[in-house]
Structure 1
Amino acid sequence: MSSTKSMAKCRCVSKLWSSIIRSPYYKVLFPTKPPDPPRLLFILVDQGKLFFYTSPQPKNLNPDEGSSSLVATLHHRMPIKDRMKLSGPVNGLFCQQHVGDDSIVLVVSNPITGESMILPKLTTKKVDEAKVYLGYDPIEKQFKVLSITWVCGEKDPQHQVLTLENGGRDLSWRNIECCINGQTEVGSKGKCNINGVLYYPTRVDKKKMIVCFDVRSEIFDLISWRSCNLINYKGKLGAVDNDDDHFVVWVLVEREWSKHVYEKSLPWRTLRASYGNIVGVTDRDEVVCSPKYGVKSPFYICYYNLESNSVVRVRVEGPGFECLKWSLLYMFSNYVEHVKLM
């Protein structure tokens, strides 16, 4: 059992234990181990439940062997009733947006420990549409939730921020100013958090752009759009285009995009139709792809090495994976489990 999971169980013993673990002196007296290496995170939606799995990133993939395998560990499960959207992961946490017929419920959760926190209702009334993003300020070590809502009769959306602090007590939304006018759409996919900046796609006066939201200063900025597949590429904002014959990797350097084109090998072209969902790029320049539509048993993911122009299929096994029948799956690479308890 991981140290984070053990601490979560200890906090449930009594209020005294919980206050001791939350104390700033706890880390001095009982320092935790260094963060674990990034892992793969799988969130499976099946039969009204969410299942959270993690597994190590596969190492030393050999394309000559044809395929490889890894074992995923089931950490936590939770029921869901309404339609749900996910924002994250950010430093190990998620923000879940549960959309009912007449309500929106926001929950921040740790999929490893099972802890969760229900957020206050948005203060905006008569909301036509709401987009919610989770961000993290590594300097102040604060999580913030950004809400973007379109109100009936108003042209520009309203922006609100909620800071997660005080152990979830006395939380409230704050209205903030956004200098970007003419936003007609905000993307629910393609968000990315890097070094305290939240990136997400938008449309401004019908033109595709990318918003940069500095989590600490709460200031917005715009950069040019390249793709909706935004990724963390070795600590920089990246974007990946995936066409029939090439991978095109864009990397943002000092507000300018550098372009890298990689011609696909023939084996990948036969797999692209089934594994067209890009979930990230590893430090070894491997594009990680998952099934594009539903998942079923046996379940495979693909690693495409840009430098060697080779592809390896990796079979994922775990409790319940043998019963998959076209279920919905969210997959994230470079997931870090070592997080501060809520």
Structure 2
Amino acid sequence: MDNLPSNVMFDILSRVPVKTIIHCKCVCKRWQTIILDPYFADMHLSRSPAGLMINHNYEKDMRSSTIKPGILKWVEIEDESDYHYLHHDLLMSLDLNLGTIFQDSQILLVGSVNGLVCLWQFGPRGHDNTYICNPITREYMILPRQQYYRDGYAIIVYGFGVGLKTNEYKVVRTFQGDIPPDSTSTSRPSLLEAEVYTLGTGQWRSLGHVPYWLCGFHGPFLNGHAHWMVVDPDSPEKICAFDFDNETFKLFPSPPVENIAESRIHFRSLGVLKGCLSQSDTFDSQFTVWVMKEYRVKTSWHKQVVIKQSISPSLDWVMWEPMYLITGLKDGTILMVYYEDKLLEYCPQNQTVEDTKLFDRYLDAMAYRPSFLKLQNFRAETVHVF
């Protein structure tokens, strides 16, 4: 293979499994040079298989004073039109519990784009840090402390994405403060501010006032935008989108508002299923999935799935807490997380919800596509290795 042209070597190596590529770096200097080349990272990303990134905190105990950050676990998905298979390799896990900077804090997954993962660290000892990491290359960077953080009751909403025109990776964060802890859910925050961080610049920039009251710790990224649910009861649309190129917040077409009179609960959340923005509505009697077939076209919202509680009698507890859409597979399966407890899948063939039994208790998950994009490519950033 030493006699093969470089372009052929790039093509061959970009097609092999990620774990094999990691070992290939140790074969010879030429292979290592190819794998570390930004062109190789772009070529591999275009062929990178879809998967999941799980933050599994099996030691979490709300009754204990001990707080653990958890373990990042990459789940590979063998996804075919007639079957799928989820595989977790222990060797590809990243144990955040071993990092001294993560001690006595919690870690929340707030975004994943092109193999990069955005993490938010928070905890009772004043932790409020944002990290960008690549679990495959084991690199991470710590962003500077945010401008709007201060003591007191507040809601933080994150978004992580890349501009379609500028190709700049950015973290956007809204600070929704001055909400009394005992206030009603309709009490609008008196402070709604936003700031954005462009990777490679070394500083946050203020975006000023945000006109919409948002909910959800993170906004799913699609088509150069992050998306969140809008809380304002009088808003004509119930979704807001942030444009990473123009750095603007705008209302986004939402599906029809669905109400079930006898239902005592109603949770809504957003996700991306097979390249389409999707919304889930959780009631205590059913779970509905809406899919936007054409991006930004309101009339293209389609009620794709209605899961009745009675069709999954063994999971009669499912409808009592929020379910979050994670990703959709070729055979129609929908992967989702029930609250923080389990990774579930909706099986379209028999119209039931099943427990994958891959992880149990205290997990967060999002769609993830592994890459070899190196954080050293972003100038003005200090990069560390786990």
Aligned counterpart, 1:199: 227
| Superposed counterparts of 1:1-342, under 5 Å | 2=18, 6=22, 27=40, 32=44, 34-47=46-59, 48-57=68-77, 59=79, 70-74=86-90, 75=92, 76-79=94-97, 80=102, 81-100=104-123, 101-124=125-148, 126=150, 128=152, 129=154, 130-150=156-176, 155-165=190-200, 170-177=201-208, 180-181=210-211, 183=212, 185-189=213-217, 191-204=219-232, 207=235, 209-223=238-252, 225-226=254-255, 228-243=268-283, 246-252=286-292, 253=294, 254-257=296-299, 258-260=301-303, 262-264=305-307, 266-274=310-318, 277-280=323-326, 281-294=328-341, 301-306=343-348, 309-311=351-353, 313-316=355-358, 327-332=361-366, 334-342=367-375
Structure 1, unpaired ranges of 5+: 296-300
| Structure 1 position 118, deviation (Å) | 0.4
- C-alpha change, 1:9 and 1:188, in structure 2 (3 Å) is farther
Question: Cα deviation per residue 1:111-142 (whole Å; 9 max; x = unaligned)?
Answer: 33321100011123646433332122244332
| Structure 1 position 194, deviation (Å) | 0.5
Aligned counterpart, 2:11: none
Question: Cα deviation per residue 1:181-224 (whole Å; 9 max; x = unaligned)?
Answer: 3x4x4313462110111101232366583211011111210135
Residue type of the alignment partner of 1:55: V
**1-structure distance, mates of 2:82, 2:275:** 26
- C-alpha change, 1:27 and 1:150, in structure 2 (3 Å) is same
**2-structure distance, mates of 1:264, 1:151:** 36
* TM-score when normalising by structure 1: 0.73
Residue type of the alignment partner of 2:75: S
**2-structure distance, mates of 1:205, 1:147:** 22
> 1 or 2, which has the higher strand percentage?
1
Residue type of the alignment partner of 1:328: Y
Q: 2:81·2:330 contact (CA, 8 Å) conserved in 1?
A: no
Residue type of the alignment partner of 2:206: N
**1-structure distance, mates of 2:24, 2:141:** 14
**2-structure distance, mates of 1:54, 1:261:** 28
Q: How many residues align?
A: 309
- C-alpha change, 1:263 and 1:242, in structure 2 (3 Å) is same
SS in 2 for 1:204: coil
Q: 1:248·1:259 contact (CA, 8 Å) conserved in 2?
A: no
**1-structure distance, mates of 2:21, 2:56:** 20
**1-structure distance, mates of 2:40, 2:137:** 19
- C-alpha change, 1:272 and 1:204, in structure 2 (3 Å) is same
SS in 1 for 2:48: coil
SS in 1 for 2:136: coil
Q: 2:271·2:324 contact (CA, 8 Å) conserved in 1?
A: no
Q: 2:238·2:252 contact (CA, 8 Å) conserved in 1?
A: yes
Structure 2, unpaired ranges of 5+: 1-16, 60-67, 180-188, 256-266, 376-386
Aligned counterpart, 2:261: none
**2-structure distance, mates of 1:187, 1:312:** 28
**2-structure distance, mates of 1:106, 1:291:** 25
Aligned CA-pair RMSD? 4.0
